[in-house]
Amino acid sequence: MSRSQAPHTLPKTLRKTTAKTATPVDLRARLSDADAAAFGRALDQIREDVIASLGEKDANYIRRMIRIQRGLDFGGRALIYAGIFAPPAWLAGVLALGSAKILENMEIGHNVMHGQWDWMRDPAIHSSTWEWDNTCPSDQWKSTHNVEHHTWTNVLGKDRDVGYGILRMSEKQPWHPYYLLNPVMNALLAIFFQWGVALHDSEMEQLRKTGTLKPESRAKLKGMWRKARKQVLKDYVLFPALAGPFFLPVLAANVLANLMRNLWSYMIIFCGHFPSGVETFSEAEIVNETRGRWYLRQLLGSCDIDGGKLMHVMSGNLSFQIEHHLFPDLPSNRYAEIAPKVRALCQHYGLPYNSGSLAKQFGSVIATVFKLALPKVPNKLAAYG
């Protein structure tokens, strides 16, 4: 099996827009040009070492994850039907089905569609063929997430994942009375997270800002609905209908399993991007961005979540969000071994490495949501507070 992957270069879309102007002082102050170049070379070496060691053990890992996920899905649905007559089995079925959906979306779907397993040359586990159990079509997600988000990480006006078009998640975002709804919109986004992601990819925020949609957004919306319709029919019509007169208990189980997946996915993703200490950037700050400084922006714009092996797997290893943003196409099962090397490198160059428990990071996210719902109080007024 081939171990080669496409070289990890600065995204073309970024290179085309970054020339002629020097990197602004605020990012340059983090690292000198020489140190930024050395930092980039060191990270490149970490990546190359992993690629050189990819093999059967890694391939077996993703295949095992797929088997476990499918077993949880089948077993969960069977327990839900059995739970019609034995309520404890129904609850166990909900937990199993919810876990299957989390595993499929986070550790399998997200990472397969990043191309992390394309080196296997297995058409069944390839970024070009995988369609995940989600309302957002894989092609739309790959465009918005892989290209847009991972190219323009935390660049205001370019990375639409900052606030997902409905939340204020940075003090650099101008305040508007609409953001008083930050806590409410945040709660709704968490509950309906798969729908929020799907509509986000269709750029639905245009309706709020301009009252209309671009033609390409309408086409995306149609594609999203074709995919979402299949998901709705599968979870909320087909499987409940198989239970005959017990339609409602099975429907409720599917609703709860999807809710479980939505809340967990939301929490992991927000904890990797929006806790205290995560930085956002202007377009001016990334002009003439080199590879080393692209790595630096990924580091400063992400954070990790401390936890055990089970938590890492169920988070899709996005608990290693820093490592994921540095190496988005490396297999997720390798992030745990990469993390200590990245942390040591950050310590060597005096760079922050944002990491904390799930409770700490999520508490910080919620505090940010509430804080940024309000306008910043001018210093003169704050003195009288």
The answer to whether residue 384 sits within a structural domain is no
Number of folded domains that form the chain:
1
Average the pLDDT over 64-68 and give the result: 98
The answer to whether residue 75 sits within a structural domain is yes
b/e 41-79 (16+ beta carbons within 10 angstroms → b):
ebbbebbeebbeebeeebbebbeebbebbeebbeebbeb
CA dihedral sign of residues 130, 265, 273, 322: negative
Q: Is 262 left (phi over 0), alpha (psi -120 to 50) or beta?
A: alpha
What is the residue range of 142's domain?
A: 12-371
Average the pLDDT over 59-74 and give the result: 98
Q: How far apart are CA 190 and CA 103, in angstroms?
A: 18
The string of pLDDT tens digits covering residues 281-324 is 999 889 889 999 999 999 999 999 999 999 999 999 999 999 99
Which of 58-72, 214-228, 355-369 is predicted least confidently? 214-228
213 falls in which pLDDT band (50, 70, 90)? confident
Residue 345's DSSP bridge partners are none
Average the pLDDT over 323-348 and give the result: 97
DSSP secondary structure code for residue 357 in this structure: E
Give the pLDDT confidence score for residue 27 in this predicted structure.
62
Give the pLDDT confidence score for residue 165 in this predicted structure.
85
385 falls in which pLDDT band (50, 70, 90)? very low
Give the pLDDT confidence score for residue 221 in this predicted structure.
87
The string of pLDDT tens digits covering residues 116-150 is 999 999 999 999 999 999 999 999 999 889 989 99
Q: 104: exposed, middle or buried (C-beta count within 10 Å: 0-12, 13-18, 19+)?
A: buried
Find all residues with CB under 8 Å of 66, minimum gap 6, and list them: 108, 125
The answer to whether residue 271 sits within a structural domain is yes
pTM for the model stands at 0.89
Instruction: Give backbone dihedrals phi and psi of 9, rounded to 5 degrees, phi first.
Output: -105, 165
The answer to whether residue 339 sits within a structural domain is yes
Q: Which two tokens stand for residue 173?
A: 């975002």
* SS3 (DSSP) at 355: strand
Give the pLDDT confidence score for residue 30 in this predicted structure.
81
Q: How far apart are CA 184 and CA 187, in angstroms?
A: 5
DSSP secondary structure code for residue 174 in this structure: P
Q: At residue 292, what is the residue type?
A: G
pLDDT exceeds cutoff 90 at 164: no
Which of 5-14, 96-105, 189-198, 327-336 is predicted least confidently? 5-14
273 and 284 Cβ atoms separated by less than 8 Å: no
* Averaged pLDDT of the chain: 89
Residue linked to tokens 């990012």: 27
pLDDT exceeds cutoff 80 at 15: no
Q: Which two tokens stand for residue 82?
A: 């059995």
Q: How far apart are CA 16 and CA 319, in angstroms?
A: 32
Q: Which two tokens stand for residue 280?
A: 């956002």
The answer to whether residue 4 sits within a structural domain is no
The torsion of the CA quartet 208, 190, 365, 99, rounded to 10 degrees, works out to: -150
The answer to whether residue 2 sits within a structural domain is no
Helix (H) or strand (E) holding 187: helix 182-191
pLDDT exceeds cutoff 50 at 384: no
Residue linked to tokens 């129904």: 90
The answer to whether residue 74 sits within a structural domain is yes
- The segment with the largest mean pLDDT, out of 18-22, 114-118, 148-152, is 114-118
The answer to whether residue 78 sits within a structural domain is yes
Q: Which two tokens stand for residue 311?
A: 């938590």
pLDDT exceeds cutoff 50 at 4: no
Which of 20-34, 146-160, 185-199, 275-289 is predicted least confidently? 20-34
Task: Look at residues 319, 210, 335 and name the one whose alpha carbon lies nearest to residue 265.
Answer: 319
